[in-house]
Amino acid sequence: MTRPPAPDLAERVRALGRALGFDRVGFAGAEPTERSRFLGRWLERGFGGSMHYLAARREEREDPRRVLSGARTVIAVSLVYGPGDAPGPPVGIGQVARYAQGEDYHDVLGDRLRAFEAGLVALVGAPIRTRSYVDTGPVLERVWAERAGLGWQGKNTCLIDREHGSFLFLGVVLTDLALPADAPEPDHCGTCRACLDACPTQAFPEPYVLDATRCLSYTTIELRTPIPEPLRAGQGAWVVGCDVCQTVCPWNRAARGPALSDPLGLRARLAPREAWRQPTLHWLLGLSETAWRERTRRSALRRTRYQGLLRNALVAAGNSGAASLVPALREHAGGSDPLLAEHARWALDQLTRG
């Protein structure tokens, strides 16, 4: 049986997390809540698109105790990675979501969470069971981060920290250790609609609900088939993900992210790589698969896959108004990949009509 926690254990656990580089550490009970059960209703509305893996382990995602038998506490952590660039890059430049510009966050946070687990055992001084996740397992990190008081879920469904904004990476540690739950943060969105109104593809059917099938973070990363034509113009210059709903958020304009210290170099590892900060569409359209593999080493950009990145760059080229890209588009239009050829023909039509 797990030893009951000493009175100061919770603060020692919190201090351990901060010493390992996390900006926030909070605790929540592991029991499912109404918020954690939203997934089933969301999937039934068809908002998950082709992400069938979400339904495959739905019961585990709704109840952490099905992931770690005997779980009593979800320890949630966050790490600020800094704001994204403002919308509207120069002509011929592709946009990459800020989270994907640096080293793969799964690796950066995963290393720290494994150290956190080891440190917990030392703090407790007795056998405990733990399991950690960074956006890779059947756990709804945002739900538990909200419940653990790290922030509130904004109308764009991102977790918002009142001090640090929403450019956050989240991770969780499930444990059979009992820790006192933190108080959730109230919703501070008020009547603001900035994120809803700014979405270039109208991906929010209502506040606090995202239709992933219309979200650029889905169509440019998760979707393996053609990007629906009605959504292509709204993609603008984005080639991987989208930061629009976060960039316009008032809580990010006042965020303190850049002022945070970085003694362990975690944010330095997540800093943008030069190649992906403002990649030119001409470079992307001419990128070989070998070069893509080299430039995406240890990067979350691998999720998009080579074909997906070229598909996205073709759409961005069609939206760019840059006639200089026509030769590259014609080359792809006559290529052997039917997916890329179709998107190239669409892009040519956008640049040459009228």
Would you give the DSSP letter of residue 165? B
Place of tokens 């606090």: 208
Asked whether 47 and 215 are in contact (CB, 8 A), the reply is no
Domain boundaries, the chain: 9-81+103-175, 194-352
- pTM, rounded to two decimals: 0.93
List the alpha helices (DSSP H) in the chain: 9-19, 38-44, 53-56, 58-62, 105-124, 141-147, 194-198, 216-219, 229-235, 244-247, 250-253, 266-270, 274-277, 281-285, 289-295, 306-320, 326-333, 338-352
Which entry of 63, 85, 135, 161 is annotated as an active-site residue?
135
In Å, how far are 36, 283, 286, 296, 307 from 325, measured between CA atoms? 46, 10, 10, 23, 18
pLDDT at 1: 47
In Å, how far are 13, 112, 114, 176, 248 from 123, measured between CA atoms? 8, 16, 14, 14, 42
Q: What is the mean pLDDT of each run of 10 residues along the chain (354 residues)?
A: 64 96 97 86 95 90 95 97 73 95 96 97 94 94 97 98 96 97 97 98 98 98 98 98 96 72 91 95 98 97 98 98 97 98 98 81
Give the whole-angstrom CA distance, residue 159 versus residue 148. 12
pLDDT at 223: 97
Other C-beta atoms closer than 10 Å to the C-beta of 123 total 16
Would you give the DSSP letter of residue 334? T
pLDDT at 35: 81
Name the burial class of residue 351, with classes exposed (0-12), middle (13-18) and buried (19+) by CB atoms within 10 angstroms of its CB: middle
349 catalytic per annotation: no
